[in-house]
Amino acid sequence: MLGFSLGKLIVLIVVILVVWYGYKYVARLEQIRQALHRARRAAEAQQRGGGTPRLKAEDMVKCRACGAYVATEVAGRCGRGDCPW
| Mean pLDDT for all residues in the chain | 82
Note whether 67 and 45 are same-domain residues. Answer: no
Domain boundaries, position 28? 1-54
Residue 12 DSSP SS3:
helix
Note whether 48 and 61 are same-domain residues. Answer: no
Note whether 2 and 28 are same-domain residues. Answer: yes
Q: What is the pLDDT of residue 50?
A: 59
Note whether 50 and 60 are same-domain residues. Answer: no
Mean predicted confidence (pLDDT) in 64-85? 70
Note whether 33 and 72 are same-domain residues. Answer: no
- What is the tally of structural domains in the chain? 2
Residue 4's Cβ-count burial label (10 Å; 0-12, 13-18, 19+) is: exposed
pLDDT band at 22 (very low <50, low <70, confident <90, very high): very high
Q: What is the pTM of this model?
A: 0.45
Residue 58 DSSP SS3:
coil
